[in-house]
Amino acid sequence: VDKYINIDDDPGSHEMKKEIRRFIYQHILLWIPQWNEDIQENAHTLCYKGIGILIQACVEDIYAILS
């Protein structure tokens, strides 16, 4: 993400955006909803439950922002 922010040319920025979205989709979005569901079911404190929700929301937001 840091490289994406610092790229000055449009073609490079476009390709980096596509690569970040691809990585998020293939390596994070496939399992994070189930992980968060497990956290919600098994965590004993609101703190851990909130962290699970926050992590999933951040990943989904980054994916959406880069679309």
pTM, two decimals, is 0.76
Q: Say what the pLDDT of residue 25 is.
A: 94
Q: Say what the pLDDT of residue 13 is.
A: 75
Going by C-alpha positions, the residue among 58, 35, 54 that lies closest to residue 46 is 54
For residue 23, pLDDT over 80 is answered with yes
**Average pLDDT over all residues of the chain:** 89
What distance in Å separates the CA atoms of residue 4 and residue 36, rounded to the nearest whole number?
A: 27
For residue 30, pLDDT over 90 is answered with yes
**Helix (H), strand (E) at residue 52:** helix 46-65
For residue 56, pLDDT over 90 is answered with yes
Q: Token digits for 26? A: 């293939």
What distance in Å separates the CA atoms of residue 20 and residue 38, rounded to the nearest whole number?
A: 26
